[in-house]
Structure 1
Amino acid sequence: MIQLTDKILSEHYSHLSDKPFFQRVKDSMMTAPVIVCCYEGVDAIQVVRSLAGPTNGRLAAPGTIRGDFSMSFQENIVHASDSPETAEAELNRFFKPDELFEYKQATFDYLYACDEF
């Protein structure tokens, strides 16, 4: 759990800096601490984005994070990286190097077929 700062969010949302809602998005993200996570696995980005649901919570299916907990396009409650390159940049932004490490999860042999991972 971390408290996002204006500096971190200005970097994270730099691609929106010319939009009229830029400050509103940053203000929203600073209202409470957030949980940052790093997931790894086969098609992890696609899987996490499917679990999150579409950005607009009103369009998200029940059972997705946004479908169950969001009714807004902006206040969409969860962020998910959209590519490996974005994920790498975001991991570097939100985690210190010693906070991420590799290990073989005991359940991997039950989650994936032997030729999947």
Structure 2
Amino acid sequence: MVQLTDEILSEHYSHLSSKPFFQRVKNSMMAAPVIVCCLEGVDAIQVVHALAGPTNGRAATPGTIRGDYSMSYQENIVHTSDSPETAATELNRFFKPEEIFEYKQASFDFIYACDEY
């Protein structure tokens, strides 16, 4: 759990800096601590996107995070990386190098076929 700062969010949302809602997005993200996660697995980006649901919570299917907990386009409860490159950038932004490490996940043998990972 981390408390995001204006500095980190200005960097994270720099692509929105010219939008009229830029400060509102940052204020929302600073309103309370957030949980940051680093997830790994086969097709992890696509799987996490599917679990999150579409950005607009009103259009999200029940059973997705946004479908169950969001009714807004902006206040959409969860952020997901959209590519391996974006994920790498965001992991560097939100985690210290020593907080992410490689290890053999024991569960992989039970959730994937041996030729999937």
Q: TM-score range by the shorter chain?
A: over 0.9
Q: Which residue in 2 is equivalent to 1:38?
A: 38
Question: TM-score, normalized by length of structure 1?
Answer: 0.99
Q: How far does the alpha carbon of each residue in 1:59-98 deviate from its partner, in whole angstroms, 9 at most, with x for none?
A: 0000000000000000000000000000000000000000
Q: Where do 1:96-115 residues align within 5 Å?
A: 96-115=96-115
Secondary structure of the residue aligned to 1:114 is: coil
Q: Which runs of 4+ in 1 moved over 4 A?
A: none
Aligned Cα RMSD in Å? 0.4
Number of residue pairs aligned between Structure 1 and Structure 2: 117
One-letter code aligned to 2:23: Q
Q: Which residue in 1 is equivalent to 2:54?
A: 54
Give the fraction of aligned pairs with identical amino acids, expressed as a percent.
Answer: 82
Question: TM-score, normalized by length of structure 2?
Answer: 0.99
Return the offset for 1:2: 0.2
Aligned equivalents of 1:105, 1:115: Cα separation in 2? 15
Aligned equivalents of 2:45, 2:17: Cα separation in 1? 25
Q: Which residue in 1 is equivalent to 2:24?
A: 24
Q: How far does the alpha carbon of each residue in 1:19-69 deviate from its partner, in whole angstroms, 9 at most, with x for none?
A: 000000000000000000000111000000100000000000000000000
Structure 1 residue runs without a partner (length 5+): none
Q: Which residue in 1 is equivalent to 2:80?
A: 80
